[in-house]
Amino acid sequence: MILASFFLLSIGAHFTPCSEPFLNVSQRKNFTYCKKLTTLEAEFAWRINNEQQIEILFGTRLHTGFGWLAWGVNPDEMPQMVGTRAMIGIWNSDGSTFITTYNITSDTKMGCMLKPEKMDEKVQNEVGFHNMSMENINELDYFAIQARVILPPAAYNISKLNHVWQIGDEAEGTEPKMHAKTLQNVDSTETINLWVRDEAHHVGKHENHLRTVHGILNIVGWGTLLPFGVIIARYFKYPLENFHDWRIPLHVSCQIIGYILGTSGWILGLVLGNLSKFYIFKIHRLYSIFIFTFTTLQMLALRLKPGEDDEYRKFWNMYHHFLGYALLAVISINIFHGINILKPNDTWRQAYIGILISLGAIVTVLEIYTWTKFKRSPKPTASAQAGISATGLEVPQPRP
């Protein structure tokens, strides 16, 4: 399943050209290359004057109608916010506008005021931004910034250029304020070969596919098979006692497959977390560590479960039941959390809600069936009784 997903998804990995209207605007302005960036619905066009000089146009929507738009380059090994030399166009809510350059440092990331800073390519390894301009592209409802960028060859190479983009909703005069921290906002960097029209290594290009696989494995493994296994353990005892003999083998098989798929998804999550070195989703990570630890504990039942007649079996049952149900709750919270981080189209949420509704419907029908069967039957069936004596668990008893 994992290999198949990788295969299908890698086929889908390709360059995304610009939208028709942005392409028209860029061609009107004599830009020769144009591509859609992977996040923030941004689009990027460029023209190479020579190895050290490029013209760039960067545009996207600002949903509130004002805020700021930033584009910059980073001389480090990997593209990231800190160290980026950027130009930022600001549309203030009072109607004033500014476009100027900023040096983004670790102090900025810690919340210190981001002040304009003059940049000059004549200073060693410094980037030059010239002919900067900003505009609203009305036909597209886009805001855009444009400049000629001079890149010192000692620090930048246009066939392997780290570029970084960002948008924010708030600004005060020439000071842009903190941007949102969604995946779209933190995954807004890539290393690009400006010579090649359709080749750009985006940090999130392969990651996006891995994220999809991660989500699917987790939803199927933790989110579907584990609860299904619990339903089997619960209802094959009563009222579906005809399947009693299948109860534990099916429960255990379901949980083992669910655990293997879920753990693969979890490991993929850790790999993704490691690949994106400059940001972290703490709560999602904490929940997932909890889930992995305690499902592993549940799985130890394979070897460490007390025998049916053991005096501790009663307590093991209580612990196994309590932890099992608690895990189901945390898993569904974390799945919604993951979907919120990924912010894909609504299909994911709808699909998972669909799975929850189906599992809920099965449980409701079986609960109703349990109670009607229990009310009608004068005595519990032999196998249900066997279930009671074997486990010591409470099963509905017929009224005297």
Annotated binding-site residue numbers for heme b: 214, 251, 284, 320
- Among residues 59 and 215, whose Cβ is nearest to ligand HEM? 215
- Among residues 114 and 240, whose Cβ is nearest to ligand HEM? 114
- Among residues 59, 67, 72, 83, which is the contact residue for ligand HEM, using CB under 6 A? 72
If phi > 0 it is left, if psi is from -120 to 50 it is alpha, else beta; for residue 82 that is beta
Binding-residue pattern over the window 214 to 243 for ligand HEM, x denoting contact by CB under 6 A: xx--xx--x---x---x--xx---------
Which DSSP helix (H) or strand (E) runs through 213?
helix 203-220
Burial class (CB in 10 A: 0-12, 13-18, 19+), 50: exposed
- Among residues 164, 220, 225, 240, which is the contact residue for ligand HEM, using CB under 6 A? 164
- Please enumerate in sequence order all residues whose Cβ is within 8 A of that of 92, keeping only pairs 6 or more positions apart, or say none: 66, 98, 171, 172, 173
Residues 1-60 that bind ligand HEM (CB under 6 A): none
Instruction: Find, among 60, 84, 65, the residue nearest to 145 by Cα.
Output: 60
In angstroms, give the least distance from the CB of 332 to ligand HEM: 8
Residues 345-374 that bind ligand HEM (CB under 6 A): 348
Is residue 18 within 8 Å of residue 34, measured between CB atoms? Answer: yes
Instruction: Find, among 158, 156, 154, 146, the residue nearest to 196 by Cα.
Output: 158
Instruction: For residue 286, give Cα distances in angstroms to 31, 193, 207, 364.
Output: 46, 37, 21, 32
Q: What are phi and psi of 147, to 5 degrees?
A: -165, 165
- Among residues 40, 56, 57, 70, which is the contact residue for ligand HEM, using CB under 6 A? 70
Binding-residue pattern over the window 182 to 201 for ligand HEM, x denoting contact by CB under 6 A: -x--x-xx------------
Sign of the four-CA dihedral 366, 367, 368, 371: positive
Residues 265-284 that bind ligand HEM (CB under 6 A): 266, 269-270, 272-273, 276, 278-281, 284
How many residues of this chain bind ligand HEM (CB under 6 A)?
76
Residues 105-144 that bind ligand HEM (CB under 6 A): 108-109, 111, 114
In angstroms, give the least distance from the CB of 135 to ligand HEM: 19
Q: Is residue 213 part of the contact set for ligand HEM (CB under 6 A)?
A: no
In angstroms, give the least distance from the CB of 98 to ligand HEM: 13
Name residue 200's beta-bridge partners.
192
- Among residues 137, 155, 351, 393, which is the contact residue for ligand HEM, using CB under 6 A? 393
- Among residues 158 and 221, whose Cβ is nearest to ligand HEM? 221
Name residue 136's beta-bridge partners.
143
Is residue 127 within 8 Å of residue 121, measured between CB atoms? Answer: yes
Region from 10-18, 127-135, 176-184, 359-367 binding ligand HEM, contact rule CB under 6 A:
176-184
Interatomic CA distance for residues 95 and 89, integer angstroms:
13
Residues 306-325 that bind ligand HEM (CB under 6 A): 317, 320-321, 324-325
Is residue 178 within 8 Å of residue 211, measured between CB atoms? Answer: no
